């Protein structure tokens, strides 16, 4: 599988790239240095976390990524900041956290989905300044923490979002399992 990884400034992007590269080819582009380009030559698009600038109020700066989310028919996984982008593009509501959250959070799966096979409750690592508090009818929340929505998926397109960093799990087996489950889901999606 060929993966386009868009790095939004995530400090864990090397770890994420390494996790994805175990069985796949990964091309990394930097959101501010490279144009997103044609995602159609890839099997999957991953929007990584990071970013010093919030999603809210920066539509012009983030236009390229937002347009990609709106138009792509390819499977897409938004992680952390990438998840916030997905939620925002589809009419979700984001709220600023005061203070920012950096550490483990308890996550509860509320909607059965193959993404969380055998993972109904787990601890996840987050480094967040914003929280997803609500989503539109286009998205379905899958998991919550006490802060808000931690996982979501589009109701009709192969788009998932994880507000946490699966590559940085304290319970490493859960993060690896969730990524493995995600790739299993992709195997069932027609090209």
CA–CA gap between residue 59 and residue 1 (Å, rounded): 31
Structure tokens at 124: 């996840």
Pairwise pLDDT comparison (103 vs 5), residue with the higher score: 5
Pairwise pLDDT comparison (39 vs 32), residue with the higher score: 39
The whole domain housing 86 covers: 2-187
Structure confidence at residue 42 (pLDDT): 92
CA–CA gap between residue 176 and residue 168 (Å, rounded): 10
Among 60, 58, 32, 31, residue whose Cα is nearest residue 129:
58
Candidate from 5-14, 60-69, 85-94, 104-113 with smallest mean pLDDT = 5-14
Contact between residue 48 and residue 16 where contact means Cβ atoms under 8 Å apart: yes
Structure tokens at 139: 């998205």
Number of folded domains in the chain?
1
Give residue-wise pLDDT tens across range 41-95. Answer: 899 999 988 767 888 988 888 888 899 999 999 999 999 999 999 999 999 999 9
Extended beta strands in 9-158, E state: 25-30, 44-50, 76-79, 93-109, 121-134, 139-144, 149-154
Residues in CB range of 176: below 8 A, 6 or more apart: 19, 166, 169
Pairwise pLDDT comparison (72 vs 39), residue with the higher score: 72
User: Over 90: is that where the pLDDT of 161 sits?
Assistant: yes
Phi-psi label, residue 50: left if phi above 0, alpha if psi -120 to 50, beta otherwise: left
CA–CA gap between residue 93 and residue 135 (Å, rounded): 6
Pairwise pLDDT comparison (24 vs 147), residue with the higher score: 147
Q: What is the mean pLDDT of residues 89-112?
A: 90
Among 177, 168, 186, 77, residue whose Cα is nearest residue 118:
177
CA distances from 181 to 7, 93, 177 (A): 22, 27, 6
CB burial of 61-71 (b: ≥16 within 10 Å; e: otherwise) equals ebeebbebbee
User: Over 80: is that where the pLDDT of 11 sits?
Assistant: no
Mean pLDDT, all residues of the chain: 86
CATH number at residue 53: 3.40.50.880
- The pTM of the full predicted model, rounded to 2 decimals, is 0.90
Candidate from 33-42, 123-132, 146-155, 174-183 with smallest mean pLDDT = 33-42
């Amino acid at each position: 599988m060929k993966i386009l990884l868009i790095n939004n400034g995530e400090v864990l992007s090397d770890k994420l790239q390494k996790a994805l590269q175990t069985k796949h080819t990964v091309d990394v582009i930097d959101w501010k240095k490279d144009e997103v380009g044609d995602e159609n030559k890839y099997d999957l698009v991953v929007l990584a976390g990071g970013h010093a600038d919030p999603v809210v109020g920066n539509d012009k700066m983030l236009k390229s990524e937002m347009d990609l989310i709106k138009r792509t028919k390819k499977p897409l996984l938004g992680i952390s900041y990438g998840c916030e982008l997905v939620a925002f593009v589809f009419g979700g509501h984001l709220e600023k956290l005061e203070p920012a959250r950096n550490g483990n959070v308890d996550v509860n799966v509320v909607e059965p989905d193959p993404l969380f096979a055998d993972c109904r409750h787990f601890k996840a690592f987050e480094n967040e300044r914003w929280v997803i508090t609500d989503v539109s009818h286009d998205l379905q929340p899958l998991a919550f923490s006490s802060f808000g929505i931690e996982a979501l998926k589009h109701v009709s397109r192969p788009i998932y979002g994880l507000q946490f960093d699966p590559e940085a799990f304290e319970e490493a087996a859960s993060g690896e399992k969730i990524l493995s489950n995600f790739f299993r889901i992709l195997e069932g999606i027609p090209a």
